[in-house]
Each structure stands twice: as C-alpha cells, then as structure tokens.
Chain A
C-alpha cells in the first residue's frame, strides 16, 4: 500500500474532496438551527469510498470523523443546551475538557498512569467528544465573524468549540504522523494551518498552543532535525536576553532548579576545602552567585571553588558567551571574597561523550551539575546526556544534581499519540503559568516566541525519533548512579522560593521509603519540572588525580 503513487494521489484527492464537501455544508455558528444537509455519522463512514484504503493504513473511523467534522443531526443539542454545557472558563480548560473525556473513556485515573490506554480507547474518545462538539464549523471565515464585537458569552462558547476542534485535529494529525500515514497527516496539517492562521499570537492560550504544535508537527512532517530547528530561531540575541530576563524574574522555572541543586550541593560538600563543579551547561552562569554567597557565609570557612563549563564548539547557543560568563562570575566571586577559578572542557562530538580538557585535582570534591529544564537552553537528547554522565562517572563525583522537564516521564508512555497528548498538556500548563506570571507585561509572548516554540518542536522531534522508552531514573541507574535523598531543608527552601511567586505554583515531593526522591514544581497540580540528586555507587576512588586528554 505504501508507495503506490497513484493510490496515494487518489487518496489525497478524495480526502480533499471530502474536505471541500464538508466545508460546503459548514454551518453558521450564530445560527441556532443546524443546516439541513446530511452530515456524516460515525456509523455511515464505511459508505465512503475512501474509507477502506484508510482503514488499511490503520486510520480509524474516529480520526476521519474528526477530520470531517461529522455529527448526528437527531442528537444535535439546541444552542441553549450547548451553552449550558460549556461554561466559560480559562483557556486551559479547553484542554482539561478534552482530557476529562479522555479519562472517562480510557478509565485512567491519573495522567501519569494511563499507559494502558490503547488506540481503541483514544479513538472512541475522539469519536465521542466529537458527538458532543455539535456540528458547528469554524472555518477561518466563520472564525473571523465571531471576532467581531457581539455577545461575549457566545464568544466564549465559540472559542471553546474552536479550541476543541483544534485539539482534535492536532491529536488526529499526531496519530496520522505516528502511524506513518503521512498523506493524511499532510491533509490534516493543511487544515490545521488554515485554522491557526487566524490565531493571534496575543490570543488565548489554546490558540497559541495550537499554533506552536501545528508548527512542530509541520516541521516533523518536513523531516526537520533537532539541530536544524534549534538553530533556526530567528530571535535576535537582544530579544532572547530580554525574554530570558522576563522568564528568570517572573516565573520560578529557572530558579527552582537552580536553588534545589545549589541547596543539595551546599549540603553535600559539608566543610570541604576544595570544591569543583562540572557544569553541563553553564549558559549565563546565573546559578552560581547564590551558591557563592552561601559559601562565603559558611561557618567552616570559605572553600576554594572551581567551575568547569562544558563547551560545545559545534552547537550554536543563543545566550551562552563563555568569556562574558567568566567575567561575571569572577566579579561575583571577588565581591563575595571567594577564591575562584573558571575553566572549560570541550566536547567535540554531537553525543557529548568525549570530554576534553577536564582537569581534576586530588582531594577536590567533584560535583556534576545537569540542568536540563532550562527553556532558554537548546534541547539535549537523552543519549548525549547519558553518554556525558557515563564519561564523568569514572571520576566518582560526590553529587550529580539533575533537573529535567517532567514531560519526559510523561512521554515515556508507550502510546505515541498518548505521548503527544501529554506533551500538549505539559506545554499548555507551561503557557498558562507563563501568562499568569508575566501577565502585566505581555512578556510571556516574547518568552514563548524565544524559547517555548522551539522547545516544543525539539521535544516532539526528539520523542518521535526516540525508539526506546526514556525514563531518567532507570537511565541514571544504568549509568552507575544512585539516588541521594533531598533534605527537609531543601523542601523548605523550595517552598519559600515558590511562595515568592504568583499563586498556582506548587511543590510536590516524590517519596520512597522516607527518602525524598525528587522535588516537583507543579503548575495547578500538573508537574512540570523535577529536581533530584544522584551519586556514584563506588565511592572508593574519591577524586583521584586524573587528567584526560
């Protein structure tokens, strides 16, 4: 079936015809009565000539249904009923609603636990939610119509319908993509682009989310590679800095990881006289002033601090400037009167496995700092992080601080569409929180443009190409590390930090046997960032004299 050009062409033509047909019978959203034209029902789908071929490709009826916007005329609820059902609510609620339906159908209690959910359930869910969606069409023209001033309540309804439509299409697009039905994916994306073209970048969260995910799916379809996407960001350096400042000041995303890590480091080094931190990605070095200040006040006296930054000549980094970072940190250390030196170690391959120029001194406490959650830092593939960690494992670091986006563990769900769905959820929460934190300045849009759009793209691409399940804890275990419990004080500190930001951010602790395995930063109960600490199993050769070529 796969590469028969004629079949493909015919298929595409038919789908487009159907789309055309579907658009022809589109319904005015302001009308209370549904048009008289027969609408395709789920059960009648096999009447369509296109259907068997699609079935062969593994495309289910519900998917087509969502594409074609079918519905049941008899069960069509009157407009007033619809209005009641769809309460005006936050933009985030659109996705929540989709998720609720999904849970109902899939029977899964928790977002993290729905790994058992299979394609059938998802399809059934799509199907069911479409039934309730009513047969309102929001073609671009119609969408523009209700942008006009009118009944605000109606406006909200329309937005919710529009949001549901967008998300169904996104899920359908993702399923088509992941089941290699690229032709269908093309059609769906065409439609999605059409719909999102009317989405304003200053519009509600769900519109922007749809916009970014459509972009991401498109680049996935175009076969983009992570490195290409990461370097394609057209943001100027200055804009990136401005966006970064906004993100750093008004939301806890960056600071949460930094402070949890620093607290763990501070506690791990005790009264050691020489401390060496190997920073996987130093970027601007903003993590370190607070640690320096705390070290300067340490009762056991100030230690000698060395920071080695991993330097990647092949990667184009928007924000990193080694020389400037160095100067800033030197200045800072001088202000706190800390003996300090700053070095770099180079990795020359893409996979971060060969570390060159790392100097270790005997008797020095080695700390490895891995901040993978930073939105402003290009995405790192799990394999490269792992190979980096494996390469430093032999130096027996006292502590490895590890902060990642919690989406990773969500994406470890076996079902690819489910992964996509979790990613939608994750970034929707992230967008929502950014908007809430930065609402006064509209800087959140700048932040999204600068970092999140690219982040979504790279995350999707990475997980599309990742064949194995990515579960950090097992990966780190396999690399020879084991967990270190985070302290009560660390929880207090994190709680204090979150208390300094807008409502909605929460701290969750992940316990196992009295130990605090990791701390989670959540937005409205959705975990977004996870921080944990690790150490090496063999503590025998502590900081042996070693110099690597």
Chain B
C-alpha cells in the first residue's frame, strides 16, 4: 500500500540531466574546440544540444527530487509506525538512487535514533546503521579505491573495547560503532543466561523436546542429529526427561552435532569436544549413556550415517538453523517452479529425508526476508525484529550490558538483511508456509503436538513476561509476543 502511494521516480528528462551529465566523448570534443579558440573564457562551453532539448528548467530544478511525493508524516517520534515509514522512505530513496532524499531522511532518523533510548529509538538506530552501512558498501563496490580502514588511533576506535561506544546516544558512524560485540565469546554459564533470558530459543527447545520424547517413548536406542546454533543448550533438559521417563532411561543416546555452523551469535568459548565431555558427564549423573560426536555435512550420507543398529530411532532436530542454508534469490515466483534440487535449502531437506528419520523437528522464526527488493525486505525485517527490542524493555534495564549485547546481536542480523546482497546475505528467514511447502516437497508428513507439549511450553512461558503467548495453527505451534508471531515449531515424519 505504501509503495503505491509514494512515487519516487524523477521525471525522465530530469534524470537524464542529473545523472548522465556529459558524455566523455562530448567533453573531448569540447576540449578540442577550446584549443582552436583561446581566450579568457575559453573553458566555458556551450551546452550540448542533447541536454538543451530534453530538459526544461522546471524539471532540472534541484528540488524536484525532494518535492511533494505523497509523503505523509505521522506525528511524534515515539510512534513506531513513523519510524517504520521513515525507514521505508529511506530504502525507497536508496533503491531509486535518490541520494539527496535518502541523506535527508537519514539525518532526520538520526535525530530520533538512540542505541540507549526507548525501544523505538533503538530499532531506529540499528536499522539506520544498517542503511548507512549499505550505502558505504555500495560506495566501495563502485569505487576502485581499496576498502576503507578505520584509523586505529581515532578515539572512537579506541573506545570500542568497552561499552563507551554507546555513550553517544545517537548513531556514531565510525563503521565499527557496535563491532565491540562482534564475535563476543560467551562462557557456557553466560550462554545459559542468554538462552534463558527470553523464550526466543527456549520455546523451540521445549516444543522439540516434547515432540522427541513422544516419538521415542518406546525406543531403547536413540540417535539425534542436531542442526542448531545454540551449542547444545537444548539437550540437558531432554536428557533429564529421558532419565525420568516412565519406562526408564534408554540404553543409549547418540548425539551427532553438525559442525558447519554459520558465523552468527551466540559464540561460545569452548570447543565441541569439551562441550561433549560436559554433556556426557551430566548424562552419566542422570543414568543416561550418552555418545557425543561431531559430524560434518559430508558425513550425512545415507548408509554411512546412522548405521549402527537397525532399531536405532533417528531424530533430526532443526533449531533456527535451516534458514542459514543458502537459497537462490527468488526472482521467478514460487520456489516449487525450480524443478529438481537446484537450491541448497531443498538439498539439505532431501538429504535429511534420505536418512529416513523417525521424526524431524523444524523450528524457525516466522518472517520472510528473502525478497530481492530492499524495501520489501526492510519492511519484513522491521515487522519481525522490533520484537526483541520491545520485549527486552520488559525484562532488562535500559543500560544493562546484557541487553545492549543482545540488541547488538539483533542489530547484526538487521545489518545482514539490509546491507548485504548475494552470498554475503546469510539471514534468509522464510515464511511458515514456505517451509511447510518445502518439507512436503521433500516427502515429509506433518505431525501435531500433543497436549502434554502444549502444557510444558505454556508452563515455560509463564516464567517470562506477560506479553508472551502460545497459539496453535493447524499442526503448528506458535510463540507470540503481544499477538505477533515470533517463532513456530513443527514436527514431521516420513511416510
């Protein structure tokens, strides 16, 4: 709706005038002319006919790019819709190469934005940062100059070792203003705190663990293939539940963790081997015999993988991980039009299918940021990623370090969605429908969650802020924040 109401196109003549300027051949021609007619004013020249004919003075007026374009401005900077609209205006201006207008909105936005302000100001700050970084990346890709390096002696760069970057509440564009949190390594305790802070991850853990417990309730040998990004934080709860299950703990639990992890937070300062040792120790204390192994995607070959015993129950657990598998930009309509396995995302699903698992749990964020259009992507990202900023307001003080770190992680996501293109854009969340489509296409059948799981998740949510909610849509389980879908959990089986 918004896109229709805003017309950012410059008149064709004005565009040709303002952007093509002069042909270099014309200039060469002009300079030849100048040699033959020396005089005090010889470097002044006549306008080429081309420009004269196509441009009227009115159209060439510099404000034509800025003038009324159906911009309706909402009042008050605390209005989320207002921030969103400004961001969208800015993205539209960038897409149509209207730098002047884009810069104007960035200036206006920067007067609203604050990394340590209210949730709206924080969202504005991170999105603005992403837009700015997009512009500087574009500049780099067009210029032949080497990439810009930050002067390490600059006071801002020096201050980057601690939180003082955020002392300037407004966006301090030294490109690295938030990089102090990049690749921040957490201890396992910090990681546990991070995960427990919100149900963002815990929801998926609860739902998936519940489904897994149900699927393997009568099995004695269990094999879990883990595709996740949270460094096995999901498993202690499951191990405990398995240990306490009515029929007694299973004979063996095998946990295979896929190594090829996308470079996204949270990062942990512990190698997988040590994590495995700790998990094994924990499992032993719970009378569960745990085997831990690290597999690479090349190990995931049917026949090679999983063959241990015919009666081993295989569960594949996909937690907020699959959307990092690359996907071809969707230019040609619905994905299913690509016949065969052209996309790596479908390939991994088919690979999983070929392992013939007893169950697959798929937990993903419910948003679609795969559009090739910056404006659409920004809108989708805004409508999804305002949530972490809003929910953190309810659980942490504004200057709490954990909150700033958490937000920096979200900011990193925003930056990737908005500023990056092509392979560099790894944050490619897809909608729930698309995932269902893909799963069915790969040959899976959806399972529902039983009431026990519903109850568990409900109980877990009660430990968190009141804004959280739980919703069922057909077979899907949905985590909501103030009525907006955040994360969905689904369970699938073969056959």
Contact = CB atoms under 8 A, between A and B. Distances in A.
Contact of B108 (A286, A294, A501, A502): A294
Given A290-B104, A496-B171, A242 B82 contact: no
Interface in B27-60: 27-28, 30-31, 34-35, 38, 40-41, 43-47, 51-52, 55, 57, 60
Given A200-B31, A259-B107, A234 B171 contact: no
A237 B57 contact: yes
Interface string B168-185: 111111110000000000
B301 interface: no
Given A335-B71, A441-B19, A492-B172, A248 B62 contact: yes
A503 B175 CA distance: 13
Interface residues of A, number: 69
Contacts of B104: 289-290, 293
Given A286-B66, A446-B22, A492-B168, A299 B76 contact: yes
B258 interface: no
A254 to B, nearest CB: 10
Contact of B43 (A453, A499, A501): A453
B92 to A, nearest CB: 15
Contact of A446 (B19, B21, B38, B105): B21
Given A443-B22, A493-B170, A499 B107 contact: no
Contacts of B106: 496-497, 500
Question: Contact residue range for chain B?
Answer: 35 or more
A450 to B, nearest CB: 9
A445 interface: yes
Contacts of B136: 499-500
Nearest to B98: A249
Contacts of B145: 502-503
Contacts, number: 183
B100 interface: yes
Contact of B73 (A262, A297, A299, A441): A297
Interface stretch (A13-21, A56-64, A324-332): A324-332
Given A297-B108, A449-B43, A500-B136, A242 B51 contact: yes
Nearest to B48: A239
Interface of A: 197, 200-202, 211, 215, 218-219, 232-239, 241-242, 244-246, 248-250, 255, 259, 262-263, 266, 284-286, 289-290, 293-294, 296-299, 302, 324, 328, 331-332, 334-337, 440-443, 445-446, 449, 453, 488-489, 492-493, 495-497, 499-503
29 contacts: A197-B35, A201-B34, A236-B47, A238-B51, A239-B47, A241-B62, A242-B21, A242-B55, A255-B103, A262-B107, A266-B111, A289-B104, A290-B104, A293-B73, A297-B75, A299-B77, A332-B67, A335-B69, A335-B71, A443-B22, A492-B168, A493-B107, A495-B174, A496-B110, A496-B173, A500-B102, A500-B132, A500-B136, A501-B139
Given A241-B60, A324-B61, A496-B173, 10 more contacts: A201-B30, A236-B47, A293-B73, A331-B67, A442-B27, A443-B22, A446-B21, A488-B168, A495-B174, A503-B148
- List 8 tightest A-B contacts by C-beta distance, closest first: A443-B21, A441-B21, A335-B68, A496-B173, A499-B173, A290-B104, A328-B63, A492-B170
